[in-house]
Structure 1
Amino acid sequence: MITFALFFVTALAEILGCYLPWLWLRKGGSIWLLVPAAISLAVFAWLLTLHPSASGRIYAAYGGVYVCVALLWLWLVDGIRPSTWDVVGGAVTLAGMAVIAFAPRGS
């Protein structure tokens, strides 16, 4: 559960770090949005280092959680309710994430 929570917070940091420049470029937001965006992306990179496994495996497993958090963002921030297919796709990515992150490993 701690691993999933860390993935979730990591995904939020990445999405926020990308969303703020999007607001600046596409929605005419203040250039000052780039400051918290840079901080958020730095936090994202730091959070990735807190995982105990090899970085490639972490990035692969994190991708599944990222997809689901992005769909949640779509709903809560963009105001677009995910479709049934979005939910099914999110469930498939979480299943793949679980296989990658939690499979037993030989020494």
Structure 2
Amino acid sequence: MSVLKSIPLFLLAGLCEIGGGYLIWLWLREEKPAWYGILGGFILALYGVVATFQTQNFARVYATYGGIFIVMSLLWSMKFDNYSPDKYDIIGALIALLGVCIIYYAPRN
């Protein structure tokens, strides 16, 4: 699968995982209505489905999601939680992103 086809799937899965988890967080930690948790659980289940559309094996797909989710989680927190990452957050996220790009996109025989 090409980079241009896999990246949108990684981003969609990230939105499902982070968005669903955030809704459950709001339900349990911020005392939002139960439907937040139910919707969050449904969206988290969609994340599991979206991940299967990648063509690499399970190990590479989930390792790569981990690095991409690090970056997306920081961006999500900046947008929705007024979080301001420090230089170590940014450096760590970039290192993780570089690492997972090597894992997923390195040419193999």
TM class, shorter-chain normalised? over 0.9
Alignment of 1:18-97 (within 5 A): 18-97=21-100
SS of 1:50's equivalent? coil
Specify the code of the residue in structure 1 equivalent to 2:27.
Answer: W
How far is the alpha carbon of 1:14 from its aligned partner? 0.4
Structure 2: distance between partners of 1:21 and 1:39: 10
Structure 2: distance between partners of 1:19 and 1:12: 10
Structure 1: distance between partners of 2:101 and 2:25: 31
Note the alpha carbon deviations across 1:54-90, whole angstroms, 9 max, x for none.
1111001111101000010110111111111111111
Specify the code of the residue in structure 2 equivalent to 1:10.
Answer: A
CA RMSD in angstroms comes to 1.0
How far is the alpha carbon of 1:95 from its aligned partner? 0.3
Q: Percent identity?
A: 34
Structure 1: distance between partners of 2:38 and 2:75: 24
Q: TM-score, normalised by structure 2?
A: 0.91
Structure 1: distance between partners of 2:76 and 2:94: 16
Q: TM-score, normalised by structure 1?
A: 0.93
Of 5, 22, 44, the residue aligned with 1:2 is: 5
How far is the alpha carbon of 1:35 from its aligned partner? 2.1
Structure 1: distance between partners of 2:5 and 2:96: 19
Task: Count how many residue pairs are aligned between Structure 1 and Structure 2.
Answer: 106
How far is the alpha carbon of 1:25 from its aligned partner? 1.1
